[in-house]
Structure 1
Amino acid sequence: MEPKIGISKDNRQAVADQLAKLLADEFVLYTKTRNAHWNIEGPDFHSMHIFFEGQYQQLDELMDSVAERIRKIGHYAPGTLTQVLQLTHLTEQEQGKNDSLGFIKELLEDHESIIEFLRGNINPFAETYKDLGTSDYITGLMEKHEEMAWMLRAHFRQ
Structure 2
Amino acid sequence: MTTTATHSDKKESNDLLTPTDLDRKGTAQVGEELRYLLADVFALYLKTKNFHWHMSGPHFRDYHLLLDEQADQIFAISDDIAERARKIGETTLHSISEIAKFQRLKDNSAPFVAPKLMLAELHHDNLQLVEYMRNTHEITSRVNDVATTSLLENWIDEAERRAWFLFETIRTL
State the 1:6 CA deviation.
1.4
Give 1:74's aligned residue. 89
Q: 1:3 aligns with which of 7, 12, 18?
A: 18
Instruction: State the partner residue of 1:120.
Output: 135
- The residue aligned with 1:105 is 120
The TM-score normalised by the length of structure 2 is: 0.84
Gaps of 5+ in 2: 1-14
1:154: which partner in 2? 168
1:96, distance to aligned residue in structure 2 (A): 6.4
Would the aligned equivalents of 2:29 and 2:139 in 1 still touch at CA under 8 Å? Answer: no
SS of the equivalent of 1:154 reads helix
Q: How many angstroms apart in 2 are the aligned matches of 1:55 and 1:75?
A: 28
Whether 1:138 aligns to 2:138 is no
Q: Say yes or no: does 1:42 pair with 2:57.
A: yes
Paired residues for 1:6-21 under 5 Å: 6-21=21-36
Please report the TM-score for the alignment, with normalisation by the length of structure 1: 0.92
Per-residue deviation, 1:120:
1.8
Contact 1:93 / 1:106 at 8 angstroms: preserved in 2?
A: no
| Higher Rg of the two aligned structures | 2
Count of paired positions: 157
Q: Distance in 2 between matches of 1:109 and 1:134?
A: 24
User: Alignment RMSD, CA only?
Assistant: 1.6
Q: 1-side partners of 2:135 and 2:26: how far apart? A: 17
How far does the alpha carbon of each residue in 1:48-69 deviate from its partner, in whole angstroms, 9 at most, with x for none?
A: 1111111111111011211111
**Distance (whole Å) between structure 2 residues aligned to residue 79 and residue 27 of structure 1:** 12
Q: d(CA) in 1 for partners of 2:137 and 2:62?
A: 35
Q: CA deviation at 1:130?
A: 2.3
Unaligned runs of 5+ residues in structure 1 are none
CA contact (8 A) 2:27 2:89 kept: yes
Letter matched to residue 126 of structure 2: H
1:34-77 CA-to-partner distances (Å, cap 9, x unmatched) read: 00111111111122111111111111101121111112112222
C-alpha contact (below 8 Å) 1:41/1:98 kept by paired residues? no
Identity fraction in percent: 25
1: CA distance, partners of 2:139 / 2:92: 20
Contact 2:22/2:144 (8 A) holds in 1: yes
**Alpha-carbon spacing, 1:39–1:95, altered in 2? closer, same or farther (3 Å):** same
Q: What's the counterpart of residue 60 of structure 1? A: 75
Paired letter, 1:146: E
